């Protein structure tokens, strides 16, 4: 009986430890999610490939060392920004032809409409750069850097509602629970900076309708929690609970961590839970971040000409402009993956007013980021990605007036762009006359992910993780790198 009670007691200890380790808030889990010690800084020696063979990453010469993903949450309208359809002026107010829609799936917000009136953009377009790319008057600063962009006009996805579509873009699956894209890179390539996380998340919010974001969009899923994104706050302390409480000296904190590490190591020897090692490393990273994060976020020494690149909002913490500057500072400190989320693109009604505000928030900072990186020699090995989860319909949701319209969700085609990091500037893909269906060079989200992995030196079918009896990867069971996008 005594042996049975001992086994039951050990089982309870393991269950409690696993539960507490995986659910703890603050420094122990979500706030600090990257390994620190020198032995844990480098990427894993290998990761299991789909064939069961161990593969080392990068597995060929990488063109990019780091990624900044400017995610425009809510779905920007390609028709009003990049996908110019001048002939639609003559179709204004007419019902979208059935031969174009072909009975395709609609959302519940417009499926009950009696008609689907075509809504041409009210914004002027002009051609820019050597590729004569059409860019809206909403994006005057982006137009100036268009020769650095690879504009993909033929993106498509299966998801038609925001949450599964954002989940798909961020994890490669519409079903929640998979590792986020940044977590895959942290897992495959490791960290390049011992004092900062490998994966940092920054969030800003525009004035329009903002769909909520979930922490799982930057979580590590079934990977170790050390690969999860670390979210920096828009105001106050950049990382919660990072500062020592009043009266706690640096030496006291160091002694506490040393003693805590000894206790955790002893317990790990008993229960063998790998999350204990993660927690030890997270505490150590927290200690170093207490010095590195304040220095990172202090932009007081940035020259005026640099701040001016990002626009007036750069002086307001938590704005998209401020986060773009912070993303550049993270990139020059070799943070592997920086995700900048900007909310507010969900424009079902009053689109002309709302999209003007969103573009004022994002146009200059996006272009300024590229210019700043280029001036510092960082754009060559920093991959910048811009785009949302899907596009917008050519027909108006609700009433169409002379100066107002809205657009519903449209997964059939939308526009994204990439720059730097081995990207070949130009234009990829075409859509039909209504920006409704793709007519040339379709690019699926799996293809986009495969391309991003390729630019970072990773063969997308080889970066896998075995979980519940099968090998998972970011691109799931599909995806092909877009060769036209690779220099």
Q: Which two tokens stand for residue 257?
A: 């961590």
Closest CA relative to residue 120, chosen from 90, 159, 145: 90
Cα first-last separation, the chain = 69
The dihedral built from the CA positions of residue 240, 246, 250 and 254, taken in this order, carries a sign that is negative
Give the separation between CA 184 and CA 340, rounded to whole angstroms: 17
Report pLDDT for 283.
65
Residue 284 has a pLDDT of 63
* Helix 250-271 and helix 274-297, axial crossing angle in degrees, nearest 10: 160
Specify whether the CB–CB gap between 212 and 11 falls below 8 A: no
**pLDDT value of position 252:** 62
Task: Give the SS3 label for residue 465.
Answer: strand
Helices (H), 24-121: 38-41, 98-101
Q: Please give the Cα distance from 51 to 225 (Å, whole number).
A: 25
pLDDT of residue 287: 61
Distance CA 266, CA 256 (A): 16
How far apart, in Å, are the Cα atoms of 140 and each of 136, 311, 363, 367? 8, 13, 7, 9
Residue 476 falls in which region: left (phi positive, over 0), alpha (psi -120 to 50) or beta: left
Q: What is the distance between the alpha carbons of residues 139 and 71, in angstroms, rounded to a whole number?
A: 16
Task: Kindly give the confidence (pLDDT) of every residue in the chain, 487 residues in length, as a single tens digit, with 9 standing for 90 and above.
Answer: 455 555 545 555 545 544 444 444 344 333 444 433 333 444 443 444 434 444 689 999 999 999 999 999 999 999 999 999 999 999 999 999 999 999 888 999 999 999 999 999 999 999 999 999 999 999 999 999 999 999 999 999 999 999 999 999 999 999 999 999 999 999 999 998 888 999 999 999 998 788 999 999 999 999 999 999 999 988 777 777 677 777 777 776 676 766 776 787 777 777 777 777 777 666 666 667 677 788 898 999 999 999 999 999 999 999 999 999 999 999 999 999 999 999 999 999 999 999 999 999 999 999 999 999 999 999 999 999 999 999 999 999 989 999 999 999 999 999 999 999 999 999 999 999 999 999 999 999 999 999 999 999 999 999 999 999 999 999 999 999 999 999 9
Q: Are 136 and 82 in contact (CB under 8 A)?
A: yes
In sequence order, the 6+-apart residues with CB closer than 8 A to the CB of 416 are 151, 152, 155, 385, 386, 387, 388, 448
What CATH architecture does domain 55-253+291-485 belong to? Answer: 3-Layer(aba) Sandwich (3.40)
């Amino acid at each position: 009986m005594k042996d049975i009670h001992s086994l039951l007691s050990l089982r309870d200890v393991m269950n409690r430890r696993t539960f507490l380790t995986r659910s703890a808030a603050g420094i122990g889990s979500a706030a600090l999610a990257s390994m620190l010690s020198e032995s844990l800084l480098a990427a894993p020696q290998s990761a299991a490939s789909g064939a069961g063979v161990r593969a080392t990453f990068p597995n060929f010469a990488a063109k990019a060392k780091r990624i900044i993903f400017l995610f425009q949450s809510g779905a920007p309208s390609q028709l009003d920004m990049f996908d110019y359809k001048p002939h639609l002026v003559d179709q204004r107010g007419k019902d979208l032809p059935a031969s174009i829609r072909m009975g395709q799936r609609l959302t519940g917000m417009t499926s009950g409409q009696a008609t689907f009136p075509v809504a041409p953009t009210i914004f002027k377009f002009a051609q820019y750069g050597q590729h004569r790319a059409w860019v809206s008057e909403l994006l005057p600063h982006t137009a100036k850097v268009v020769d650095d962009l690879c504009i993909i006009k033929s993106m498509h996805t299966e998801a038609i509602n925001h949450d599964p579509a954002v989940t798909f873009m961020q994890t490669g699956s519409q079903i929640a629970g998979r590792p986020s894209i940044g977590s895959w890179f942290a897992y495959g390539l490791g960290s390049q900076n011992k004092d900062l996380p490998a994966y940092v998340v920054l969030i800003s919010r525009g004035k329009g309708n903002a769909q909520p974001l979930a922490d799982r969009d930057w979580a590590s899923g079934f990977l170790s929690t050390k690969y999860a994104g670390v979210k920096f706050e828009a105001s106050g302390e950049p990382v919660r609970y990072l500062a020592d409480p009043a009266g706690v000296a640096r030496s006291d904190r160091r002694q506490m961590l040393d003693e805590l590490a000894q206790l955790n190591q002893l317990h790990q020897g008993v229960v063998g839970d790998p999350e204990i090692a993660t927690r030890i490393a997270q505490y150590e990273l927290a200690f170093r971040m207490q010095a590195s994060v304040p220095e990172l976020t202090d932009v007081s020494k940035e020259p005026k000409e640099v701040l001016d690149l990002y626009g007036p909002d750069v002086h307001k913490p938590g704005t998209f402009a401020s986060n773009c500057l912070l993303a550049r500072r993270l990139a020059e400190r070799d943070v592997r993956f920086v995700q900048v989320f900007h909310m507010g693109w969900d424009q079902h009604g009053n689109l002309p007013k709302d999209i003007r505000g969103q573009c004022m928030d994002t146009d200059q900072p996006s272009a300024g980021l590229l210019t700043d990186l280029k001036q510092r020699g960082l754009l060559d090995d920093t991959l910048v990605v811009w785009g949302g989860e899907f596009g917008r319909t050519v027909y108006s949701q609700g009433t169409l007036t002379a100066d107002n319209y809205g657009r519903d969700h449209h997964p059939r085609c939308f526009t994204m762009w990439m720059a730097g990091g081995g990207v070949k500037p130009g234009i990829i893909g075409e859509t039909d006359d209504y920006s409704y269906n793709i007519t040339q060079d379709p690019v699926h989200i799996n293809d986009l992910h495969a391309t991003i992995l390729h630019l970072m030196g990773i063969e997308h079918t080889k970066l896998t993780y075995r979980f519940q009896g099968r090998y998972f990867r970011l691109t799931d069971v599909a995806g092909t790198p877009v060769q036209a996008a690779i220099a």
